[in-house]
């Protein structure tokens, strides 16, 4: 449910932003409202992807499974094996 609420919030913010920008550009309110409703979802999705991309740069790069196995096997060579 939280995901839906976030999506609706992004769409509402995008619709208001498009409406204000078009109104400031001199477009009539009726036409601006039509365009704002039409572009709310695409603009909101682009904004969400942009914000997610900015937050993703802080994470370490993913380790590929092969590199992970090679790294763990080199570390485990001296360790005793435990079997159950």
47 Cβ contact list (under 8 Å, min separation 6): 10, 13, 14
Mean pLDDT of the chain: 75
55 Cβ contact list (under 8 Å, min separation 6): none
Buried b or exposed e, range 21-34, using 16+ CB within 10 angstroms: ebeeeeeeeeebbe
**Per-residue pLDDT at 29 exceeds 80:** yes
Q: What is the pLDDT of residue 49?
A: 84
- CB of 47 closer than 8 Å to CB of 14: yes
């Amino acid at each position: 449910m939280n995901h839906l609420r976030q999506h609706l919030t992004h769409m509402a913010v995008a619709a208001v932003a498009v409406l204000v920008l078009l109104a400031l550009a001199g477009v009539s309110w009726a036409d601006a409202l039509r365009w704002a409703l039409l572009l709310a979802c695409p603009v909101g999705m682009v904004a969400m992807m942009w914000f997610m991309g900015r937050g993703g740069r802080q994470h370490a790069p993913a380790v590929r499974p092969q590199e992970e196995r090679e790294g763990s096997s080199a570390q485990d060579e001296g360790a005793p094996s435990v079997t159950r």
